[in-house]
């Protein structure tokens, strides 16, 4: 799996995301759930697969007082991270491509980390997200509420 979002990997038929299967993709299980500490003390808000390429995933440093609390607060106050957690980077990229048809994504990516890199590194995708993210607010908040409040209370 290439980490560079502009390099295509070689995947078996059906392994990559497209408009037919993107609805089956889920939110990222790592972001806002896994916090890692790098050797230099930086704290990232995801599993770490290729985070060195995405500085926005670093949310704190161990030199800060209450560093873990600060890391969690910083990460959970970032709407894009919340959006990735509850909707998944694949759906965000598909959404962005509807706003800017020059954004090609179908048949390119097999892993959500590749798509996450694309979201953060591609200026075209980034511009669409920053200009239009308000449109996704209510859907993301509803997903967050369902996953964190309704579902656990209803079925536990």
Q: Which helix (H) or strand (E) covers residue 43, if one does? A: strand 42-44
pLDDT single digits (tens) 111-153: 999 999 999 999 999 999 999 999 999 999 988 887 777 666 6
pLDDT single digits (tens) 12-22: 888 999 999 99
Tokens 């030199």, residue located: 63
140, 31 in Cβ contact below 8 A? no
pLDDT band at 104 (very low <50, low <70, confident <90, very high): very high
Whole-model pTM? Answer: 0.89
76, 32 in Cβ contact below 8 A? yes
Q: Average pLDDT in the 22-49 region?
A: 94
pLDDT single digits (tens) 68-93: 999 999 999 999 999 999 999 999 99
86, 80 in Cβ contact below 8 A? no
Q: Domain ranges in the chain?
A: 22-155
* Tokens at 110, concatenated: 């097999």
131, 123 in Cβ contact below 8 A? no
What is the rounded CA–CA span in Å between residue 134 and residue 116? 19
């Amino acid at each position: 799996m290439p980490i560079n979002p502009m390099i295509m990997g070689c995947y078996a038929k059906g392994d990559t995301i497209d408009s037919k299967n993107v609805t089956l993709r889920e939110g990222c299980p790592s972001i806002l759930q896994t916090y890692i500490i790098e050797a230099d003390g930086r704290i990232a808000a995801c599993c770490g697969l290729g985070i060195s390429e995405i500085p926005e995933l670093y949310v704190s440093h161990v030199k800060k007082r209450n560093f873990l609390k600060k890391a969690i607060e910083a990460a959970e106050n970032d709407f894009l991270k919340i959006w990735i957690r509850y909707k998944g980077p694949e759906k965000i990229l598909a959404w962005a491509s509807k706003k800017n048809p020059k954004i090609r994504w179908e048949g390119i990516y097999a892993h959500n980390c590749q798509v996450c890199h694309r979201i953060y590194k591609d200026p075209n995708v980034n511009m669409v997200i920053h200009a239009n993210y308000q449109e996704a607010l209510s859907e993301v908040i509803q997903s967050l509420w369902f996953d964190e409040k309704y579902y656990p209370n209803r079925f536990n």
